Structure 1
Amino acid sequence: MVELTNMQDWFNDYPFILMAFKFMIVVLVVTIGIQLIRAYLKRKITNTAIRYKAQKGTEVFGYILLFLLAISYFSGSIKDLTLIIGVITAGLAFALQELILSIVGSIYILLFKVYQPGDRIEINNIKGDVIDVDSMYTTMMEIGGWISGDNYSGRIVKLSNAYVFKGGVYNYSQDFPFIWDELDLPIRYGSDIDLAKAIVIKIASEILSEFTINSKSQWEGIVKKYYIEDAEVQPTLAVSLTDNWIKFNLRYIVDFKKRRSVKHHLSDRIRVEFENSEGKIVLASATIELIKIPELDVKVNIAKQE
C-alpha cells in the first residue's frame, strides 16, 4: 500500500509521465484501428491500384491524426513536453538510429519523389521494380540475380528506406522512361563494310523508330528541367578496327522494360540480312583459321647392317 502511495506521489510530482503513458495507449488504439481499416480495404477492394492508394491514404491519415492528437493532448504542458521530448529523443536517437533513419527516409522519398511504385530502380546493388513503399521499407520485385538480362528472378526484396541516404539511387523510369543500350557486331576483314553499315542502320531505324520518336519529346523536357546537354536519340553506328575483326558498335535508345526483347530482334534481323548477302558480309569469331600447312622435309637415315 505504501508503494502504491509512493507511485501516486511520484506521478503527482511528474504529471507529464502519466500523460505520456496515457498517450501511448491512445497511439496503440489508433494504430490498431488503422491496421484493421487497411485489412478491411484489402479484402473489399479488388482493383490493385485503387486498393494500394486506399491503403496508403489510410496510413497517411493515421500519421496526421496521431500528430494532431499529440499537439492537442500536450498543448497544456509545453514546458514539460519540451523536457521529456529532449530526454526521449536523446535515448531513441542512439538506440533506434536505423529505425529513425528509415522513417525519415520514407518521408524524404515521398516529398522529393525519389521513386514510387512502378519505377525500376537500383539501390544498394539491388535492381528491381518498386511494388510498395511504406513507412519503413521499400519492397521490390528483384531483377537479375542469377537471371541474365532484365528479367524477374521471382524474389521479393524488402530494403530499409534508410539506404536512400547511404548511396546512389538509380531510377530507370522517372522523368525519362528510356535507356541507351549497345549492340556489338564483329565483322570479318574483307567483308563489304559499306553494305554492312547500310543494313545495320536500316534495320535499327525500322525497329527503333517508335522509341526514337517517343523519347525525343521527353528528352527535350529533361533538358529544360535539368542542367544537361542535349543528346542524340537516333541510332548511331561507330566502326573501329581490332586485331581480329572490324567492330560495329550500334548505340540506340529503348524503353527500359523492352531492352532484352529489342536486342533480340535487332540481332536476329541483322543475322538474317548478313546471311542473305551472298557471302559479301561475314560475321567474325575468335577462332584460329589454318590457312596453309607448312611443307615438311623429313630425311630418314637408315644405317646399313653388315
Structure 2
Amino acid sequence: MNALSSLLENPTFIKAAILIMWILLIVFIINLIRKILKKRIDVLSIRYKAQKGVEIVGYALIFLLIVMSFTLDSIKDYTIIIGLFTAGITFTLQELILSIAGSFYIFFVRVYKPGDRIEINNIKGDVIDIDSIYTTIMEMGEWVSSDNYSGRIVKISNAFVFKGPIKNYSMDFPFVWDELNILITYGSDTTLAKNLIMDNALELLSDYTEKSKAKWEEMVERYYIENATLEPTIAMNLTDNWIQLNLRYITDYKLRRNTKNTLFQQIEQAIAHTNGKVNMASTTLQLLKIPPLDINLKK
C-alpha cells in the first residue's frame, strides 16, 4: 500500500496519467467527429477526405501534445519518459508506429488511393478504404478466375508499403497489355485470318488505343521509359499441331476479361463466315493405315 501510495503521489506518474487521459480524449473526439461527418455529408468522396483529414489533424495534435510534455518537463522526468516510450516502442508499438508512418507515406507520396487496383503482399484487389493503420481491399482472384472479385474483404497493414513492392494497375497508366491466342489449322488462309483478327481488334479497341496514347505521352515525359507500340499487333507461331496467331492489344485495366470475351466471340463468328477458308484448330489424332500383311502357313 505504501508503494502504491507513493506511486500515486509521484509527479511523473501524475503527468503521464494526465497525458494518457488527453490522448484518450482526443481519440474519442476524432471518432465522434467522424460519425457526425458520416451522417451530415452525403457525397462519398468528400466525406472520405473529411474523415481522413480529421484523423490526420487528431494524430498530429497527439504528437504535438507528447512533444510538449517532453519539453516542459524537467530533465529527470524527460529521461524517464523517454526510457519508457523507447521500451514500449521496442517491444509493443513498432508495428503500430510503422503502420501509422505508412499511412502518412501513402497519403503524401500518393502510392495508391481508394479506387485503385493494386497488388501488395501477394494480394490483389481494389482499394476501398485507407485508415491510419490498415488498407482495406476487395480481394480478386484466389479460387475465381481472371479479374473477378472473390467476395472477401482483406485488411493489410500500412507497414507493408515499406516491406515490399506495390503493383498499381491504375495510378499513372490505367491500361494494361493483354494477349489472345487464336489457333487455326494448317491449310487455312493465314492472310485472311490475320485480317479478320486485326479488323475486329481495331474496331473494338480503337477507343482504348486513342485514350492510352495521351496517357503514355505523359508517362514518357515523367519517367525514363522508352516509347511503346499501343496499336494491336499480331505474331504468328508454327507448332506441331496448328498455327498460332497471337494478338497483343491494350485495354482498360478493369475491363480485361470482358474485352477478351468480346474479342473471342467476334473473331469466332468472323472465322465461321469464311466458308472453310479459315478453320479453328484443336488437338487431333492421325491414324496411319497398316500395310497389308502376306501370311503363308506351311503344314
The two structures have a TM-score, normalised by structure 2, of 0.92
What is the rounded CA distance, in whole Å, between the counterparts of 1:285 and 1:22 in structure 2? 77
What is the rounded CA distance, in whole Å, between the counterparts of 1:219 and 1:122 in structure 2? 22
Displacement of 1:75: 3.5
Give unmatched runs, 5+ long, in structure 1.
Answer: none
Structure 1 match to 2:38: 42
Aligned letter for 1:136?
I
Q: 1:105 to 1:5 in 2, by over 3 A?
A: closer
Per-residue displacement from partner, 1:112-158 (whole Å, max 9, x unpaired)? 11111010000111100000111111100011111111111111111
What is the rounded CA distance, in whole Å, between the counterparts of 1:232 and 1:4 in structure 2? 75
Comparing 37-46 with 156-165, greater Cα deviation is found at 37-46
Aligned letter for 2:43?
N
Q: Answer whether contact 2:112 2:168 (CA < 8 A) is retained.
A: yes
Displacement of 1:4: 6.0
Structure 2 match to 1:7: 7
* Residue of 149, 152, 177 corresponding to 2:149: 152
**Alignment pair present for 1:53 and 2:49:** yes
Q: Answer whether contact 2:7 2:13 (CA < 8 A) is retained.
A: no
Matched-pair identity in %: 52
Comparing 242-251 with 102-111, greater Cα deviation is found at 102-111
Q: Answer whether contact 2:200 2:267 (CA < 8 A) is retained.
A: yes
Structure 2 match to 1:178: 175
Q: 1:70 to 1:119 in 2, by over 3 A?
A: same
Comparing 256-265 with 76-85, greater Cα deviation is found at 76-85
What is the rounded CA distance, in whole Å, between the counterparts of 2:6 and 2:79 in structure 1? 26
Q: 1:46 to 1:297 in 2, by over 3 A?
A: same
What is the rounded CA distance, in whole Å, between the counterparts of 2:2 and 2:16 in structure 1? 24
* Residue of 132, 138, 143 corresponding to 2:129: 132
Aligned letter for 1:156?
I
Alpha-carbon RMSD across the aligned residues, in angstroms, is 2.2
Q: Answer whether contact 2:127 2:136 (CA < 8 A) is retained.
A: yes
Displacement of 1:198: 1.0
Q: Answer whether contact 1:123 1:170 (CA < 8 A) is retained.
A: yes
* Residue of 190, 195, 198 corresponding to 2:195: 198
* Residue of 195, 200, 205 corresponding to 1:208: 205
Q: Answer whether contact 1:16 1:81 (CA < 8 A) is retained.
A: no
What is the rounded CA distance, in whole Å, between the counterparts of 2:201 and 2:74 in structure 1? 69
Comparing 76-85 with 32-41, greater Cα deviation is found at 76-85
Per-residue displacement from partner, 1:279-305 (whole Å, max 9, x unpaired)? 111111112143x543544759698xx
**Alignment pair present for 1:32 and 2:28:** yes
**Alignment pair present for 1:240 and 2:237:** yes
Count of aligned positions? 298
Structure 1 match to 2:65: 69
What is the rounded CA distance, in whole Å, between the counterparts of 1:259 and 1:107 in structure 2? 32
Displacement of 1:72: 4.0
Aligned letter for 2:207?
E
* Residue of 178, 183, 188 corresponding to 2:185: 188
Aligned letter for 2:112?
Y
The two structures have a TM-score, normalised by structure 1, of 0.90
Q: Answer whether contact 1:143 1:152 (CA < 8 A) is retained.
A: yes
Give unmatched runs, 5+ long, in structure 2.
Answer: none
Per-residue displacement from partner, 1:54-108 (whole Å, max 9, x unpaired)? 2112211211222333344444227343652244124322333322222222222
- 1:30 partner SS: helix
Aligned letter for 2:7?
M
What is the rounded CA distance, in whole Å, between the counterparts of 1:160 and 1:254 in structure 2? 31
Q: 1:300 to 1:95 in 2, by over 3 A?
A: farther
